[in-house]
A = this chain, B = another copy of it.
Amino acid sequence: MPKGRLLYAQSGGVTAVINATASAVLASARRHRVHALWARNGILGALREELYDTRKLSPAAVKALAHTPGGAFGSCRFKLKSIEQDRARYERLIDVFRAHDIRWFLYNGGNDSADTALKLSKVAGEMGYPLTCVGVPKTVDNDLVGTDCCPGFGSAAKYTAVSVAEAALDIAAMADTSTRVFVYEVMGRHAGWLAAAAGLAGEGEDEAPHLILFPERAFDEAAFLARVDAVVKRVGHCVVVVSEGIRHPDGRFVAEAGGKDDFGHTRLGGVGPLLAQLCKEKLGLKVHWTVPDYLQRSARHLASKTDLAQAMAVGKAAVELALAGQNGVLAGIRRLSDSPYRWKVVAQPLEGIANQEKTVPDEFLRADGFGISAAARRYLAPLIRGEAPPPYGKDGLPLYPRPRLPLLPRKLPEWTG
């Protein structure tokens, strides 16, 4: 049994398969006879010394994590600043790691957590503390560099493509006397990956989604309305997918452009309802809209089998990279071929990954900017392939057990930073 302990933590928005990564981390640690701890609420649990001893989880509980969405012991939105600005926090982390003999740290998240893992590995080096930090990718936004795709994205992409396809059949059936324009708002503040994934729901300009609005393109109201009008006249109805983060040419978010009303209240609703309202007012068409919000990132019932496999593979690889002493790397996914789809997990230096953002490249957008290209389909298609439903109980609900553990006894004074 290797000396020292491994600490695993989750960061940022959770996904349908982040616990699958955790499941693979714990299973892999057990195989290597490594004592694995899990921090409550991400890096905050490490700062607060709120740690769980995962050896107390039964093999069945570890296995069940692979089909349970959300973050089993909590995640956090908490970004450490630069080492200079936040030195006390970094040093506190090393103190906690030293107190619990933590030699390996696996941080499962997006850009911010890659950044945290990288800085922590540097501070540990400066302080002469032997620590190996490995980043484990996760984000439905799919905007991490250093990995071909991000675990969590494939399942959210599948949810989006399936939901758009289903809603489109509904609209098609009703359009003669009811809704003509349906607006579907997807997550993606800066990168339009989920918007692009919606494009997998149909092919050709007459199949839904008829229009996709990407944050990578400035919103052109006149062009948008003209296109909706043309689609409704040609097809009878129009399904629009819009990324929450589309902006006006001057850089303002469209969702915020409505701004505040005369009472100073922020306008309700996101960009989806706003575009629907626009179509209603300017084109006189009956509209409906949906904002699936967290449903799109927690829909474990509709997980992609490919995504699940990748979520587990990066967890397993991260443990192996850590034990091999590969410090300051991300367990990234490298695509070997599109068709047949082949991939493997490789170590990528965190330097150069942290604080980057991978947006949808120009060649993935259709020439008119309102749809996806064949290249985008080649990239996206494999990521939603295969089904991996959770087991269901007799009550008709998925079995999503929530593991419970007591916190480890503290060894240090309470953190008040």
Contact = CB atoms under 8 A, between A and B. Distances in A.
A258 B263 CA distance: 12
Contact of A170 (B288, B297, B396): B297
Given A289-B293, A396-B158, A396-B387, A298 B177 contact: no
A258 B261 CA distance: 12
B392 A387 contact: yes
A291 interface: yes
A249 interface: no
Interface in A256-314: 258, 261-262, 265-269, 273-274, 277, 281, 288-295, 297-302, 304-306
A384 B396 contact: yes
Contacts of A395: 200, 381, 384-385
A400 interface: yes
A366 interface: no
A201 B170 contact: no
A343 interface: no
B262 A70 contact: no
A413 to B, nearest CB: 21
A239 to B, nearest CB: 10
A173 interface: yes
B200 A71 contact: no
A39 to B, nearest CB: 12
A402 interface: yes
B14 A295 contact: no
A317 to B, nearest CB: 23
A411 to B, nearest CB: 22
A174 B288 contact: no
A4 interface: no
A398 interface: yes
Interface in A165-203: 165-167, 169-174, 176-179, 182, 200-201
Interface string A343-371: 00000000000000000000000000000
A196 to B, nearest CB: 15
The winner among A68, A300, A302 for most chain B CB atoms within 10 A is A302
A174 B396 contact: no
Interface in A370-400: 381, 384-387, 389, 392, 394-398, 400
Nearest to A78: B177
Given A13-B174, A268-B258, A397 B201 contact: yes
Contacts of A292: 290, 292, 295
Give the oligomeric copy count.
Answer: 2
B299 A70 contact: no
B258 A301 contact: no
A169 B268 contact: no
Contacts of A178: 13, 76-77
Contacts of A300: 166
A273 B293 CA distance: 12
Interface string A66-104: 001111101111100000000000000000000000000
A174 B10 CA distance: 10
A355 B14 CA distance: 46
Interface of A: 10, 13-14, 16, 41, 44, 68-72, 74-78, 158, 161-163, 165-167, 169-174, 176-179, 182, 200-201, 258, 261-262, 265-269, 273-274, 277, 281, 288-295, 297-302, 304-306, 381, 384-387, 389, 392, 394-398, 400, 402
25 contacts: A13-B174, A14-B173, A44-B177, A69-B166, A70-B170, A71-B170, A71-B173, A77-B178, A158-B396, A161-B397, A162-B397, A162-B398, A165-B400, A166-B398, A167-B295, A169-B298, A169-B400, A262-B262, A268-B268, A290-B291, A290-B295, A304-B396, A381-B396, A385-B395, A389-B389
